[in-house]
Amino acid sequence: MIKWIAKLFSSKEENTENMKKYLIVGLGNIGAEYVNTRHNIGFKVLDFLARKEGLDFQTVKLGALAEYKFKGKTFLLLKPNTYMNLSGKAVKYWMDKENIPLENILVITDDLNLAFGTIRIKPKGSDGGHNGLKNINLVLNTQNYTRFRFGISDQFKKGQQVDYVLGEWNEEENAKLPERLETSSEIIKSFGTAGLENTMTSFNGK
């Protein structure tokens, strides 16, 4: 009886700790040729937060990982090394390994349908034609996870979408990126401390 009670309390404590842990996934492609491309905004957001907070990414299974502690919460910043089309493999592995609930996952991705720098946070949704989200949906077998879409606009000519997405930021975009990255890092912290609804209210469309 005593062992059963001890096990029950241990399980409750573990669940409480898991609710304080968040998996923040920045989508992108590995390799120097992709570093400053529009498609890699997920990596860029996490790199910005890591530099700002003095964090180091460690090479781990299926990606690079940095741990950020803020206001009693633990944020695991993950940059998958599987390339965009297999992002779900890394998300599922670290979600299971760290026992992180689905509602504590935030995926950061680029979005052609939003003007440059526009922010859209949603609790669920379709992949919108994005191969990274498409694979995550497939592997997790659900669309019910929070995604943070960062607008990269659609200023390309017909047939040049791939070149545009995998192209580098132009001069005007580069000048505005620091402020947008600062806001993006605040969104990550808000997601874990203020909750999804408050974060959407505070940042969507800004």
Binding residues are 34, 83, 85, 131
Give the burial class of 78: count Cβ atoms within 10 A of its Cβ; 0-12 exposed, 13-18 middle, 19 or more buried: buried
For 96, half-sphere exposure in the C-beta direction (CA atoms, 13 angstrom radius) is 9
Contacts (Cβ under 8 Å, ≥6 apart) of 43: 26, 27, 28, 35, 79
Confirm if 61 and 80 have CB atoms less than 8 A apart: no
Has 130 been annotated as catalytic? no
Which residue from 148, 79, 83 is spatially nearest to 109, judged by alpha carbons? 148
DSSP 169: P
Q: Which of 38, 39, 180, 189 is catalytic?
A: 39
Cα-Cα-Cα-Cα torsion 144, 120, 194, 174, nearest 10 degrees, comes to: 130
Buried b (16+ CB within 10 A) or exposed e, 32-46: eebeebbbbbbbbbb
**Catalytic residue annotation:** 39
